[in-house]
Structure 1
Amino acid sequence: MASGTQMELIRAWSRDIGHVVDTANSPKAEFARLAKAKGWEGGNETWRSRWKECFKEEYPYGQCRRLAGRNKAEALEDGGIHLEDRMRRLSIISDTSSFSVISRADSLDSVRSFDSHESFEDLGAAVDVPVSLNPASVSETNEYKDPIESERKPSLSSSECKADSNPAWAEFTNFVHSPTAHFKSEFERLAHIKNWTGNVKRQQFVSLLSSEVAFYWGTDGDKLEQHQEMCRDLGLTHIPGTVTQCKKALDPLKINLFTVIDNKRNPKIKIVQYESLSKLRKSIRKSGCFPRDAAKAGGGCFRSLLCRL
């Protein structure tokens, strides 16, 4: 469908609420603006059906996990249970997720001020599942590397705005999202452009972070699949068979959760695991706390990794 026709369709959907379409923006950016005005939740049935009607493609929000499930089903049809076993073993020992976005990290200011007074939930689950980490995907280190120190010049090339990146970023005008950037540095760049401060900045931060979790771990899937995927992402070599067992396996891990997000955006960024709570606490003083509201997205698979500091 031509962009002019897409804009006309978006304009037609806007009339009942008096929403004004900005023709200077791309159709997808205007769709995101309209969706927010209409109250469509990203990835729900209405959003997906409208997206498909307008752009003649499936909405990619949470597509990473859905595509993985579909590929697995196709593989089973082709090769049966033995192929499934091989795929499972490969996914467990792989150093990156098969559906991660390949990207390049960049940064600006940190958002370490967020959640500086927020405490995390104390889940306190007893561990009865053996935990073994694959060092290829998880880095056991004592230091959180601030994205500010790693790279200071963000690339704004439109070629970096890949179709398989989180489309929630397309809502914002005058901003070219780089899916190759650290999440926090990319958000800070957006906040600077939009002049967000205080509560507005925090609300937008939590909203976008939640959308990142939902995009990579799904919005409406099987919670067991979501928790098992998190176990694989963190390099566990034994993948539990129930949600409860997954939570118990994840609970003792001392992880900087922002590195989990950044690893999805750029598999070259190692997920940071710490040997002690004190070292994790020191890291989080630099990076800022991961909001509990954002941890609820993606089937809640981040919640087991929260700890009281």
Structure 2
Amino acid sequence: MASASQVALLQAWASDIGHVVDTASSPKAEFARLAQAKGWVGGDAAWCSRWKECFGEAYPYGQHDRPATAENTTTSEEGGVCLSARMRRLSITSDASSFSVISRISRANSFDSVKSFDSQISLDSKNNVQLAPRSAASTDSHNTVAQQKPAAGPGSAGCEEMTQMVGKLSLSGSTDKKGSNPAWDQFIGFKHSPTAPFKSEFERLAQTKGWGDSEKQRQFVTLLSSEVAFFWHADEDKLYHCQDLCRDLDLGAMSNTVTQYKKALKPLKINIYSVLDNKRNPKIKIVQYQSHSKLKKSIRKSGTFPREAAKAGSGCLTVLLSKL
């Protein structure tokens, strides 16, 4: 149940539109209902500032640290080349003597667990961790992703020891419940499955609510935009999202400019719904089609991805839009 101060805030924000706050409902569910009525998109500036004011914490969703997944995974599309889901990323700062590991705990509690270690090892360009393309990607000009065994070098023994310690901590976080977009909480009586494909979950919701065609389409675009903003929210750097997307597509790190990443992503023939479903559930593989005709066949089956939704959050998904 919401506290008196939270109820007062929500009622104040709702007063200009005549929205009624349900004081018996959970505060985050009521926040999500009000956000839809006010037109706030999950992860945008208005949403985040009001979330912090209401709950006393930074908006915690849309993070990209996902647990490692099993080798045997399922695919949401047929007829294409399967792309592996990315492995857990461990962030090591190359110009300092410490690094931090963020392991996800239940997003229901809206927190991330941060653990730090100090090291006397200086990681620079001459003594860097050498990794296979899938296991390493540069998240910015100073950060390197580390997994598996580092290459031999003056500080490699210390690096390996720290990586092993980090691995043990990371594994403990991999069993935690995966969080989901809080916008689903506004639909009272509907139990959202955060790992199910987005479209099948929305169809189940629409059937439960009995929406007509017009209302169903409106709710679809609104919820899809919120889902995109949840995973690729505007508060993070667009370059980071492009790098993250390339890792999801098994392209690795190629440059430090958004333009270069767009050039690499533009030719790909991918149904954007499979990219979103992979974020919801890493066991669902992203499929890259080898011909435009096969992509068109997939899109005819799933439906087109609304441009409005692709532009949500940081807008990085627009590069994957294709002309049919």
TM-score (norm 1): 0.66
Partner of 2:36: 36
Partner of 2:161: none
Partner of 1:53: 53
3-state SS, counterpart of residue 314 of structure 2: helix
CA distance in 1, matches of 2:130, 2:190: 40
Partner of 1:256: 271
- With a CA cutoff of 8 Å and minimum separation of 6, indicate the structure with the bigger relative contact order: 1
Shift in Å, 1:295: 1.4
Q: Aligned partner of 1:31: which letter?
A: F
Q: 1:209 to 1:39 in 2, by over 3 A?
A: closer
3-state SS, counterpart of residue 98 of structure 2: helix
Q: Is the 8 A contact 1:179 1:265 kept in 2?
A: yes
Shift in Å, 1:247: 1.1
Partner of 2:226: 211
Deviates more, 1:178-187 or 1:3-12: 3-12
Shift in Å, 1:259: 0.9
Matches within 5 A, 1:180-219: 180-219=195-234
Between Structure 1 and Structure 2, the one with more strand by share is 2
Identical pairs, percent? 60
Q: 1:186 to 1:171 in 2, by over 3 A?
A: same
Shift in Å, 1:181: 1.1
Alignment deviations for residues 28-57 of structure 1 (CA, whole Å, 9 cap, x no partner): 111122233344443344432332233233
CA distance in 2, matches of 1:277, 1:207: 28
3-state SS, counterpart of residue 82 of structure 1: coil
Matches within 5 A, 1:7-18: 7-18=7-18
3-state SS, counterpart of residue 284 of structure 2: coil
Alignment deviations for residues 78-122 of structure 1 (CA, whole Å, 9 cap, x no partner): 158738999997795159xxxxxxxxxxxxxxxxxxxxxxxxxxx
3-state SS, counterpart of residue 299 of structure 1: coil
Q: 1:283 to 1:76 in 2, by over 3 A?
A: farther
Q: Is the 8 A contact 1:62 1:214 kept in 2?
A: yes
3-state SS, counterpart of residue 302 of structure 1: helix
Q: 1:168 to 1:87 in 2, by over 3 A?
A: farther
Q: Is the 8 A contact 2:133 2:252 kept in 1?
A: yes
Between Structure 1 and Structure 2, the one with more helix by share is 1
CA distance in 2, matches of 1:289, 1:58: 34
Shift in Å, 1:196: 1.9
Q: Is the 8 A contact 1:61 1:214 kept in 2?
A: no
Q: Which runs of 5+ in 2 are unaligned?
A: 66-87, 100-120, 137-175
CA distance in 1, matches of 2:59, 2:27: 14
Q: CA RMSD in A?
A: 3.7
For the pair 1:78 / 2:82, whether they are aligned, the reply is no
Partner of 1:230: 245
CA distance in 2, matches of 1:74, 1:50: 35
Shift in Å, 1:254: 1.1
3-state SS, counterpart of residue 287 of structure 2: strand
For the pair 1:269 / 2:284, whether they are aligned, the reply is yes
Shift in Å, 1:258: 0.9
Q: 1:81 to 1:34 in 2, by over 3 A?
A: farther
3-state SS, counterpart of residue 272 of structure 1: strand
Deviates more, 1:56-65 or 1:165-174: 56-65
3-state SS, counterpart of residue 298 of structure 1: coil
Shift in Å, 1:262: 0.7
CA distance in 2, matches of 1:190, 1:169: 9
Q: Between Structure 1 and Structure 2, whose CA radius of gyration is higher?
A: 2
3-state SS, counterpart of residue 270 of structure 1: strand
Q: Which runs of 5+ in 1 are unaligned?
A: 96-160
Shift in Å, 1:265: 0.7
Q: 1:277 to 1:39 in 2, by over 3 A?
A: closer
Partner of 2:6: 6
Q: Aligned partner of 2:265: which letter?
A: L
3-state SS, counterpart of residue 299 of structure 2: helix
CA distance in 1, matches of 2:128, 2:56: 31
Q: Is the 8 A contact 1:210 1:293 kept in 2?
A: yes
Partner of 1:110: none
Alignment deviations for residues 205-259 of structure 1 (CA, whole Å, 9 cap, x no partner): 1221122221111223322222121111111034232111111111121112111
Q: How many pairs are equivalent?
A: 243
Segments of 4+ moved more than 4 angstroms:
1-5, 68-77, 83-92
Partner of 1:93: 134
Partner of 1:27: 27
Q: Is the 8 A contact 1:209 1:294 kept in 2?
A: yes
